[in-house]
């Protein structure tokens, strides 16, 4: 059991039978004499990806989730699903098409990720903060383009489409932020 006084951003608890990642915690002091401190939380249900809010009384206890994080590796796509391997046990896991489609534009075979397992089943996959990808298609270089010049469209080797500076050419490797799909710089 986990006490609400131990809640902090990033821990996983079990609420309503599902693993939930705590995104935000606010401890609210009581206004009336004798009232308990309230603990307001925002959390993500890791099975449904729903973000919810819930208020607890200080000292309430919730179940600990049977949740583990393991180093993993992306292996390949199989008919819209992603196949990942646990680097400790070499066990392979499949990720459903709906969840995998959001990650696929950032994944190359062999990309290291963090796997989130609930009761031995893959429920989350955390990407590295940045990935290096090759530009496969973009407009020709604009002469005298600088870093502050206008951006142009580019397509990367995974099919990801994003805006890049006008000085980039096809075949160059770039660094991309996986949180928002933004160009960071050349490699």
pLDDT digits (tens, 9 = 90+) for 15-66: 999 999 999 999 888 766 666 788 999 999 998 889 999 999 888 999 989 9
Do residues 155 and 147 touch, judged by C-beta distance below 8 A? no
Note whether 18 and 35 are same-domain residues: yes
Cross-strand pairs, 27: 39
* pLDDT classification of 155: cutoffs 50, 70, 90: very high
Same structural domain, 20 and 56: yes
What average pLDDT does the segment 133-143 reach?
87
Structural domain that includes position 55: 2-64
Do 78 and 59 belong together in one domain? no
Q: Is 160 exposed, middle or buried (0-12, 13-18, 19+ CB in 10 A)?
A: middle
Q: Which residue has the higher pLDDT, 177 or 48?
A: 177
Same domain, residue pair 117 and 153 = no
Tell me, yes or no, whether 73 and 52 share the same domain: no
In this prediction, residue 145 carries a pLDDT of 56
C-beta separation of 58 from 27 below 8 A: yes
181's torsion region: left (phi>0), alpha (psi -120 to 50) or beta?
A: left
Q: Both 20 and 74 in a single domain? A: no
pLDDT value, residue 167: 86
d(CA 143, CA 38): 60
Element (DSSP H or E) covering residue 97 = helix 97-103
pTM: 0.82
Number of independent structural domains in the chain:
3
What CATH number is given to the structural domain containing 170? 2.40.50.140
Of the three residues 81, 102, 126, the one that is the final residue of a domain is 126
* 10-19, 34-43, 120-129: segment of lowest average pLDDT: 34-43
Q: Kind and range of the H or E element at 151?
A: strand 151-156
Residues 107 and 138 in one domain: no
Between CA 119 and CA 111 the distance in angstroms is 24
Last residue within a domain, chosen from 103, 126, 149: 126
Same domain, 148 and 166: yes
| Domain final residue, candidates 64, 89, 112 | 64
Same domain flag for 48 and 29: yes
In this structure, the answer to whether residues 59 and 13 fall within a common structural domain is: yes
Q: What is the CATH number of the domain that holds 33?
A: 2.30.30.30
Residues 119 and 154 in one domain: no
Residue 85 burial (CB count, 10 A) = 18
Distance CA 9, CA 79 (A): 35
């Amino acid at each position: 059991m986990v006490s609400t006084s131990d809640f902090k951003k990033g821990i996983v608890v079990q609420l309503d039978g599902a693993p939930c990642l705590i995104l935000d915690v606010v401890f609210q002091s009581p206004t009336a004499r004798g009232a308990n401190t309230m603990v307001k939380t925002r959390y993500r249900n890791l099975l449904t990806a729903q973000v919810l809010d819930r208020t607890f009384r200080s000292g309430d206890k919730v179940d600990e989730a049977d949740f583990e994080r393991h180093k993993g590796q992306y292996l390949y796509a199989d008919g819209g699903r992603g196949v990942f391997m646990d680097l400790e046990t070499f066990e392979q896991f499949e990720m459903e098409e709906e969840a995998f489609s959001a990650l696929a534009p950032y994944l190359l075979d062999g990309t290291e990720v963090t796997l989130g397992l609930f009761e031995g089943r893959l429920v989350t996959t955390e990407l590295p903060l940045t990935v290096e990808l090759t530009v496969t298609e973009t407009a020709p270089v604009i002469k005298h383009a600088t870093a502050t010049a206008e951006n142009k469209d580019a397509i990367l080797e995974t099919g990801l489409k994003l805006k890049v500076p006008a000085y980039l050419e096809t075949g160059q490797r770039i660094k991309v932020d996986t949180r928002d799909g933004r160009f960071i710089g050349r490699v």
